[in-house]
Amino acid sequence: MSYEEIKNKLKDILVEILILEKTSDEIIGEDLISELGINSIDAISIFIEIEDTFNIVIEDENLNASLIANLDNTVKFVYDKLNQ
């Protein structure tokens, strides 16, 4: 899966989990927590959906706000997991 495909899928996950009024194309992604108003419950749902969608495991030490604070960081994390 390409970097861009992962990015687009992650945006779709955010729209679905957060029930956003905006489309995935409208997500900027530089500061997702502020941009989308992600709280701790949202974060857990997002982590679970990422694991299920990409069939990966997010280790406990990576389960923190910094993983989903920036879209590019999240994409890189998933990309690296898929290409191990």
What's the pLDDT at 70?
96
Give domain 3-82's CATH superfamily: ACP-like (1.10.1200.10)
What's the pLDDT at 24?
95
What's the pLDDT at 11?
98
Q: What is the domain partition of the chain in residue ranges?
A: 3-82
Instruction: Report the C-alpha gap between 34 and 66 in whole angstroms.
Output: 12
Per-residue pLDDT of the chain (84 residues), as tens digits, is 999 999 999 999 999 999 999 999 999 999 999 999 999 999 999 999 999 999 999 999 999 999 999 999 999 999 999 999
Is the whole-model pTM more than 0.85? yes
